Amino acid sequence: MRAAKIVMVRAALTLMVVAATLRPGAADMSGHGAMVNAVAVSPDGRRLLSASWDYTVRLWDIGRQAEIRVLDGHAASVNAVLFLPGATEAISGSWDHKIIRWDLESGREIARLEGHVNNVSGLALSRDGRLLASAGWDRTVRLWDLAENRLLRTMEGHQANVMQVAFALGDAALVSVGYDHTVRLWEVASGRELALLSGHRSSVNAVAVSPDGATAFTGATDGSIRIWNLAERRESGRMPGHTAFVTALAVSGDGQQLLSGGGDMLMRLWNLKDGRQIRQFAGHQKPVWSVAFLPDGRHAVSGGFDALIKVWSLETGQPVPAP
């Protein structure tokens, strides 16, 4: 354990040195000292949460592209973050095995959810905000009751690190992806595995689910994006385009478009009706690690290995400069 912690600290310091050599531009939200692992947009589109290898979560004003607050409590890289309903609280997951619930107005911790015994790599929230799902490198998916901040059940079946998780099928199911090349479907009520969806030939790093909960999109290390019909439990299509690993996916609120980020330093926008790539967004100097739509359907945000966050116009493909 001591050796693993030393490796983690050395890796974090290396990333901070890399980030320090990269200069932000006029359209960048800078402040993190290392790569941005995850971003989340508030329901009203006014604020942004970011999680980073620098051990912090940061709250931003999107309109001003300005930092509001730093949430400092994790003891290792923060890998996942999301807003709770009302956007006055947040949840983050970290390599320190902890999940922290935050009060965004004060920046203080509300609670710690403990149970994972390795890196917490992904988080997902049910539509009513009552249930939290987490993905971990301990090869488990865990389900939490947020009313009582307690663990409800643990789902085991993956044979390697679980990377991300998402609610699906009207929140009756969870979809998880991992380094064992698989996509798995779980029943929320019982925790039992409903299906193992195979087809990827490399580590699966990202998952996003359509607003109706019926379709899952998964991204893998081989650069592929696959589409899954969850009711029929089968692959229904693919979207080739990335020339390096896919790290992040997000579906638009109307279910018509998909964002993807990858090791090719690009964010890409896809038309889900025909699987056609609409546009690609170039500007990050390192891999794109996280992506999200804004509620207006006209803008998106991305976070990168270069420690920068960018706001994009989906119409022009250009970064939106700070006012």
pLDDT of residue 13: 37
Asked if pLDDT for residue 234 goes beyond 90, the answer is yes
Asked if pLDDT for residue 14 goes beyond 70, the answer is no
pLDDT, tens digit, for every residue of 264-321? 999 999 999 999 999 999 999 999 999 999 999 999 999 999 999 999 999 999 999 8
- Domain extent, residue 225, equals 2-313
Asked if pLDDT for residue 5 goes beyond 80, the answer is no
Query: Is 322 inside a domain boundary?
Result: no
Q: Look at the chain and count its residues.
A: 323
State mean pLDDT over 11-26: 39
133 pLDDT tier (thresholds 50, 70, 90): very high
pLDDT of residue 231: 96
Q: CA torsion 125→220→253→24, rounded to 10°? A: 90
What DSSP string describes 75-128? SS-EEEEEEPTTSSEEEEEETTSEEEEEETTT--EEEEEE--SS-EEEEEE-TT
Query: Is 146 inside a domain boundary?
Result: yes
More confident residue, 15 or 102: 102
In the chain, the percentage of residues whose pLDDT exceeds 90 is 88
Question: What tokens were used for 6?
Answer: 């030393």
Could you give the CA distance from residue 52 to residue 75 in angstroms, rounded to a whole number? Answer: 12
Mean pLDDT of the chain: 91
Query: Is 133 inside a domain boundary?
Result: yes
State mean pLDDT over 215-230: 97
Query: Is 319 inside a domain boundary?
Result: no
Query: Is 86 inside a domain boundary?
Result: yes
100 pLDDT tier (thresholds 50, 70, 90): very high
Asked if pLDDT for residue 114 goes beyond 90, the answer is yes
In the chain, the percentage of residues whose pLDDT exceeds 70 is 92
State mean pLDDT over 80-89: 97
CATH (domain of 115): 2.130.10.10
Query: Is the distance from CB of 84 to CB of 100 less than 8 angstroms?
Result: no
Query: Is 200 inside a domain boundary?
Result: yes
Query: Is 82 inside a domain boundary?
Result: yes
Query: Is 318 inside a domain boundary?
Result: no
pLDDT of residue 15: 40
2 pLDDT tier (thresholds 50, 70, 90): very low
Could you give the CA distance from residue 290 to residue 254 in angstroms, rounded to a whole number? Answer: 20
Based on the structure, what is the number of domains in the chain?
1
Question: What tokens were used for 290?
Answer: 């996280």
Q: What angle do CA 147, 109, 49 make, to 5 degrees?
A: 90
One-letter amino acid of 283: G
More confident residue, 4 or 119: 119
Q: Which of 247, 225, 305, 262 is nearest to 32 (CA)?
A: 305
